[in-house]
């Protein structure tokens, strides 16, 4: 007996941030929606990304704060003991609450949740693992991405960023392979929580997409914190046994012994095996879905958002793109689309690095001699009170006679919270004169942004 075909206005593949946002917005517009997600709701961000990462980062910040308190005269140990399992339990309890909230919202919105992997049977039909077919006028692909592993001997001995969140005991000495934001974030957390950490990066510096000055300042801060940095490193093999892992480079040199090796060497879109080619959906050379400014794939009624497109792979971007896509498809707004310019980002390093707009190098390439750069290097009061060497670096990139701000780059305590408001102002055409016309809030780190000359 053939399986029934169920009709909907929209079928969403993927229950991560982008898929959920699209489903909720479409339902708000009155669409009949089905959402397919074989795993936990929330995708990478909620389960093995932003949310658990930030929980660990907050714990690391607390550890640093306790050490500062000790130096300021409080009767607390400079290196407090951490009950790692208790921390993990608190983190997972918070995440389970998010799962429950999503399930309630899906029920309230009348969205049909199917705990199944979906595959496109044709351009309008999605088939579940049990053979049930869902037919819809519109499809949204939001299947996310997964960590990539290099093709080297012994790679199975290493974990990836997802595996970090399965560690329920202090991990000991850890090697992180990669120089991007995932490696940088995990290194800062682990070192602050009492582990010994080394970063091995193929590049010549950390955070290749960040402003060079800020990345170099962060590197110096990390060295002062005891994090080992190896640049220009080419990993050829991983050897040894659990708790005694070694890295072998392309020249035969060996480094170790490590309890854990975590690979942070990029991510790949989850486009394999879901029937995209059969439906006529075009993929680029890296396996990402090719989309236009309205998130449409090469098949007009099939949209894609989030990591699966390879464009600005951040959770808030996926959410915003999905909502605008549904406003276009079901909300009667044919011009709704996401503006990908001026997206603010934060690397939750120690201290955090926040940025919006062009780096100095990008601005000079685009505007040449019209670029003016302003910077402030300072010690936050909390660091100065205990005479620690950690410095912040705030930087403005401006262009033209009006000194319009085209880039804001902040490395320092509170940078993650400070940037949001300034990002709004930059989006509206902020100039250096506007900043100078704003009264500083003193004493704060944020005041440095309006005082730079």
Burial of 150 (C-beta count, 10 Å sphere; 0-12/13-18/19+): middle
Annotation marks residue 442 as catalytic: yes
CA 83 from centroid of its chain's CA atoms = 27
Distances in Å between the alpha carbon of 247 and those of 162, 239, 250, 252, 265?
20, 6, 10, 9, 15
Which one from 96, 121, 350, 442 is the annotated catalytic residue? 442
Burial of 255 (C-beta count, 10 Å sphere; 0-12/13-18/19+): middle
Name the H helices within 193-295: 212-225
Distances in Å between the alpha carbon of 379 and those of 206, 376, 418, 434, 444?
22, 10, 16, 25, 11
**Backbone conformation region of residue 440, classed left if phi is above 0, alpha if psi is from -120 to 50, else beta:** beta
Output the CA angle 435-347-431, nearest 5 degrees: 15
168 three-class SS: coil
DSSP state of 201: -
- Looking at the annotation, which residues are catalytic? 442
């Amino acid at each position: 007996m053939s399986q029934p075909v169920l009709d909907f206005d929209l079928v969403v593949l993927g229950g991560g941030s982008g898929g959920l946002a699209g489903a909720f917005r479409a339902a708000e517009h009155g669409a009949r929606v089905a959402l397919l997600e074989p795993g936990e709701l929330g995708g990478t961000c909620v389960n093995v990304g932003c949310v658990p990462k930030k929980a660990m980062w907050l714990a690391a910040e607390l550890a640093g704060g306790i050490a500062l308190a000790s130096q300021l005269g409080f009767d607390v140990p400079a290196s407090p003991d951490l009950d790692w399992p208790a921390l993990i339990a608190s983190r997972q309890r918070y995440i389970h609450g998010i799962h429950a909230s999503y399930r309630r919202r899906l029920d309230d919105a009348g969205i049909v949740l199917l705990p199944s992997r979906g595959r496109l049977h044709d351009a309008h039909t999605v088939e579940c693992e049990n053979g049930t077919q869902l037919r819809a006028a519109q499809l949204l692909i939001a299947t996310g991405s997964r960590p990539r592993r290099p093709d080297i001997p012994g790679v199975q001995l290493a974990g990836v960023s997802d595996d970090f969140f399965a560690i329920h005991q202090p991990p000991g000495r850890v090697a992180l392979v990669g120089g991007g934001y995932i490696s940088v974030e995990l290194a800062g957390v682990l070192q602050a929580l009492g582990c010994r950490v080394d970063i091995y990066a193929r590049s010549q510096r950390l955070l290749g997409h960040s402003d060079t000055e800020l990345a170099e300042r962060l590197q110096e801060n990390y060295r002062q914190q005891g994090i080992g940095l190896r640049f220009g490193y080419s990993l050829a093999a991983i050897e040894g046994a659990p708790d005694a892992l070694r890295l072998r480079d392309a020249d035969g040199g060996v480094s170790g012994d490590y309890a854990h090796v975590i690979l942070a060497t990029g991510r790949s879109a989850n486009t394999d095996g879901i029937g995209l080619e059969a439906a006529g959906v075009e993929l680029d050379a890296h396996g990402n879905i090719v989309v236009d400014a309205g998130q449409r794939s090469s098949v007009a009624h099939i949209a894609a958002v989030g990591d699966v497109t390879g464009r600005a792979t951040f959770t808030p971007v996926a959410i915003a793109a999905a909502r605008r896509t549904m406003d276009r498809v079901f909300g009667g707004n044919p011009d709704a689309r996401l503006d990908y310019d001026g997206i603010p980002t934060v690397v939750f390093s120690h201290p955090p690095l926040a940025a919006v707009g062009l780096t100095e190098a990008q601005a000079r390439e685009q505007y040449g001699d019209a670029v003016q750069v302003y910077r402030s290097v300072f010690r936050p009061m909390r660091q100065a009170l205990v005479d620690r060497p950690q410095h912040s670096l705030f930087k403005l990139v401006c262009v033209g006679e009006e000194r319009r701000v085209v880039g804001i780059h902040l490395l320092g305590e509170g940078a993650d919270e400070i940037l949001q408001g300034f990002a709004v102002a930059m989006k509206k055409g902020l100039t250096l004169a506007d900043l100078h016309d704003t009264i500083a809030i003193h004493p704060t780190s944020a005041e440095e942004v309006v005082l730079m000359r």
